[in-house]
Amino acid sequence: MISPQRRREIVDALRRGTVPDRGLDALAVGMDRLEPVFTDELGEVAKGRVGFKAIRGEYGSGKTFTVRWLAEQAHRHGFATAEVQISEGETPLHHLETVYRRLVERLSTPEVRGGALRSVVDNWFFTLEEEAIAAGQVAETDEAGLIEATQALAERRLEHVTRRAPAFSAVLRAYRRAIADQDYALAEGLLAWLGGQPHVAASVKRAAGVKGDVDHDAALSFLAGLLTVLRDAGRSGLVFVLDEVETLQRVRSDVRDRALNALRQLIDELDGGRFPGLYLAITGTAAFYDGPQGIQRLPPLAQRLHTDFTADRRFDNPRATQVRLHGFDHAALLEVGRRVRDLFADGADAPERVRALVDDDYIELLARAVSGELGAKVGVAPRIFLKKLVSDVLDRVDQFPEFDPRRDYTLTVTDSELTDVERNARRAGDVDDIELSLE
C-alpha cells in the first residue's frame, strides 16, 4: 500500500515530466527478468564482495527509471545509495575528486534522502561505542575513556585506508573530538572536507592536521574509507550509479580519453578487491558502448564491458556485465498508464469518476495519440505520455466535475515541451524528414 505522501511525490514528478525518486515499484513494468539477478548480486555484495552492471538502452528505454528502481530495492536490503549524473560542466568523469564529492552530496539511506554523511558517521561512532562498552573495555559513564576506546577501534577498522590516505581517519578523529566538545561548526566543516567540498576554512583543516583538498588520487581511498564506515554502521554496502555516461561522446577527444581511462581505473580497482561492499552501475546508450566515440576508443575498457547481443533479445543474459533494456512497447505503455491512473484515483476526491472517465479505452486512445505525435516511436513516448495523462487529463477530471476528456480535451504537443530526442522523433514522422539513400 502506497502512502499518501509517496503517492503525491510520484504524481508530482510525473506531472513535471521527470522520473520519481521513490515509489517506483508502483510503476515498474517489465522488470521481472532483472529483479532476481539484481537481488542475487546485491546479496553477494552484502557479504563483502563487489558488483558491477553496465546498463544499455536508448532514450525512453528506462535507464534512469531502472537505476532508481534498483536503488529503491537496495534500500530495502539495507544499502546506502548515490546517483550521480555525468556531465562535462558539473561532474566530469575524469575528475574523480568531483565524482566523489557528488557521491557524498547525494548519499542516501532508507532514513535520509541525500546528504546522509553525517547520519552515517554518527551511527558509526555510536556502533563503535556500543562495541567498546559490550567488550568491557570502558564504562558507559566514562566519557573520556569512551572517546579514547572508540578512537582506537576506529583506527583499527580504517587501518587499510590510513595506509593510503591518513587524512581520512585524521578528520574523523577530529570530528569525534569536535562533537564531544560541542563545537558543531567545526564538526560540520570537517565533514564538508571529508566529503570533498572545496573552500573549507584553513582553521578547520588545521584542527585535523590536514592540508589542501581531496584530490583525484585521494578520492578512491576516501571511497574505500566510506565503504568501511557504512559497513560498520550497519549498512549492507553502497549502490553507486553513474548515470548518463554517454555524455562523454560530446566532449573534446582528450577529455573523453581521460574520462574513459578514469572509468577503466574505477572498474579495475573494483575487480581488484579495493571496494568490498560496492555495487557500481553505469548507464549509456548503444552508441556509447559500440560506437567509435565511446568505450571502443579504449580497448581495455571495451574488452571488460563487451557483451554479445547478436542473439534474439528474448535470450539476453541478465547476469552479463552489460544488460540491454528492451524499452517500452505499446502494451507496456498501456500498463504503466493504467497504473498511474489507479494511483492517481486512489488519492482523488472522486476516484470512481476518475476511473470511469479515464478508463482503459481512453488510456489506449491517448497513448496512440501521443505515440503518433512522436513519429509512432513508442519507446520515446513514456515521459510525455505520462505527463499529459497526469497534468492535462487526470488533474482536470479531478478538479472540474463537468470536464470530460473525450469531449473537452484535444492533445497538443509543442516543440518547447519536448527533449531533443523527442523532437527528433517527431520530425522523423514527416515524410520530408526521412533520409533516402541514393546509392
Q: What pLDDT digit, counting tens, does each position of 199-216 carry?
A: 999 999 999 999 999 998
* CATH node for 30-109+235-324: 3.40.50.300
- Determine the longest span between alpha carbons in the chain, in angstroms: 86
Average pLDDT (125-139) is 87
The confidence score (pLDDT) of residue 431 equals 44
Q: Where in the chain is the domain with CATH 3.40.50.300?
A: 30-109+235-324
Amino acid at the residue 167: A
The confidence score (pLDDT) of residue 26 equals 84
Lowest mean pLDDT: which of 7-11, 134-138, 323-327? 134-138
What percent of the chain lies above the pLDDT cut of 90?
A: 70
Q: How far is CA 227 from CA 45, 152, 194, 231, 389, in A?
A: 12, 19, 13, 6, 42
End-to-end CA distance of the chain: 59
Which residue has cell 583499527?
156
Amino acid at the residue 424: N
**Separation CA 74–CA 42 (nearest Å):** 7
C-alpha cell at 396: 482536470
Q: Backbone phi, then psi, for 323, in 5-degree steps?
A: -120, 145
Strands (E), 62-110: 80-85
Choose among 3, 1, 27: nearest CA to 389.
27
Instruction: Give the number of residues written for the chain.
Output: 439
**What is the CB neighbour count within 10 angstroms for residue 130?**
12
196 phi-psi bin (left φ>0, alpha ψ -120 to 50, beta other): left
**Separation CA 429–CA 423 (nearest Å):** 10
pLDDT tens-digit map of 149-161: 888 888 898 998 9
pLDDT at 344 over 70: yes
In degrees, rounded to 5, the angle at the alpha carbon of residue 127 between the alpha carbons of residues 101 and 195 is: 10
Check residue 312 and report its DSSP letter: -
**Separation CA 281–CA 189 (nearest Å):** 30
The confidence score (pLDDT) of residue 439 equals 34
Task: With cut-offs at 50, 70 and 90, classify the pLDDT of residue 429.
Answer: low
Residues contacting residue 338 through CB under 8 Å, at least 6 positions apart: 360, 363
